[in-house]
Each structure stands twice: as structure tokens, then as C-alpha cells.
Amino acid sequence: MDGLKRLSGAKSAAQDDFNKGTGTYVVSFDAPPKVKMADIKKEMGKYKLETVKLKITVVASGAAAGDIALANPKDDDLLKTVEDHKGKKVVLSGLLSEDDKGKQTLTLSKVTEAK
């Protein structure tokens, strides 16, 4: 999936896994990505985009990480964890989604203090 290397700001892209016809790719960026889902789909060509997971290191500052809104999963209050670390570097992980207007939301699955 060499096309993923062409995403704006991407420094590398590599296949991480392949299982039962589904490939998992990791794209690394030097700075928080400004990539939209349409950009990813364009580079994937004929392949179907199932999900986009995001892992980003930022300074905790509330319910957003730059232009990306943060949301809680159904069963946990990870936004409280982000708030508890306000002003500190944290690693946010979760599922990235995008509405029809291009607004992105990261549904958190894990929040840890950066080392």
C-alpha cells in the first residue's frame, strides 16, 4: 500500500498485519496529521477502508486534540483522565471517525501519560 506514503505529512507507511483478507497498515507522521478520510480512501484505490485507528501524543487540554474532537467510549470516562492530565503530555489512542462535513472525532480507547 505504497500510496499511503503519499498522504500529506506521512513519513512512513508499512503493513502491520494481514488476516483473512484484511490488511492492517501503520502510517507514521512527524506532526499531528491533517489527513481526511477521503484522502486515505483515494490512496487505497480499489481496497475497502474498514476503520482508522489513531495514536497521537499531545498536551492534554480538554475535549479536543487540535482539530480532532475527543469522545468517550460507551463504558468508560476517559475524557476525565485527559482532564486529570491537563497540561501534561499524553498518548491518546482510539477509533477515528469523520462526519459528512469532515469533522473528525477520536473515540478514546486508551489514555496514558507520555514517557
Q: Which residues contact 28 (CB under 8 A, 6 or more apart)?
A: 10, 11, 12, 13
Mean pLDDT score, 27-32? 85
Q: What pTM was estimated for this model as a whole? A: 0.86
Q: What are phi and psi of 84, to 5 degrees?
A: -65, -25
pLDDT of 35 over the 80 cut = yes
In one-letter notation, the amino acid at residue 37 is M
Q: DSSP 3-state assignment of 81?
A: helix
52 pLDDT band (50/70/90 cuts)? very high
pLDDT of residue 51: 92
Measure the CA–CA gap between 96 and 113, rounded to whole angstroms.
Answer: 20
pLDDT of residue 66: 85
